[in-house]
Amino acid sequence: MILQNRVAIVTGAGSGIGRAGASIMAGEGGHVVVADVDFINADETVREIVDAGGSAEALVLDVTDDKALEAGIAAIARRHGRIDILHNHAGAQVAGDLEQVAVDGFDKSWALNVRAHFMAARLVMPLMTAAGKGVILNTSSSSGVLYDREMIAYTTTKHAVIAMTRQMAGDYAKFGVRVNALCPGWVDTPFNEPFIAQMGGREAIESYIAEKVPLGRWANVSEIAEPILFLVSDRSSYMTGQILVVDGGETVV
Ligand X SMILES: NC(=O)c1ccc[n+]([C@@H]2O[C@H](COP(=O)([O-])OP(=O)(O)OC[C@H]3O[C@@H](n4cnc5c(N)ncnc54)[C@H](O)[C@@H]3O)[C@@H](O)[C@H]2O)c1
Residue ranges in 17-46 that form contacts with ligand X under rule CB under 6 A: 17-18, 36-38, 41
Provide, rounded to whole angstroms, the least separation between the CB of residue 127 and ligand X.
Answer: 21
CB of 26 to ligand X, least distance (A): 16
| Residue 35 DSSP SS3 | strand
Q: Say how many residues make up the chain.
A: 253
**What 3-state DSSP class applies to 137?**
strand
Select the span of 59-67, 71-79, 122-130, 235-243 touching ligand X (CB under 6 A). Answer: 59-67
Let me know if 108 is exposed, middle or buried by CB neighbors in 10 A (0-12, 13-18, 19+): middle
Any catalytic annotation for residue 154?
Answer: yes
Site string for ligand X, 77-96 (x = CB under 6 A): ------------xxx-----
Residue 54, Cβ density class (10 Å: 0-12 exposed, 13-18 middle, ≥19 buried): buried
Site for ligand X in 146-205 (CB under 6 A): 184, 186-187, 189-192
Q: Does 11 bind ligand X (CB under 6 A)?
A: yes
- Out of 147, 154, 208, 238, the active site residue is 154
Strand, helix or coil for residue 70: helix
Helix pair angle (221-232, 16-27), 10° resolution: 50
Minimum CB separation of residue 196 from ligand X in Å reads 10
Name the residues that contact ligand X, by CB under 6 A: 11-12, 14-18, 36-38, 41, 62-64, 89-91, 112, 139, 141, 184, 186-187, 189-192
Query: Would you please indicate which residues are annotated as catalytic (active-site) residues?
Result: 154
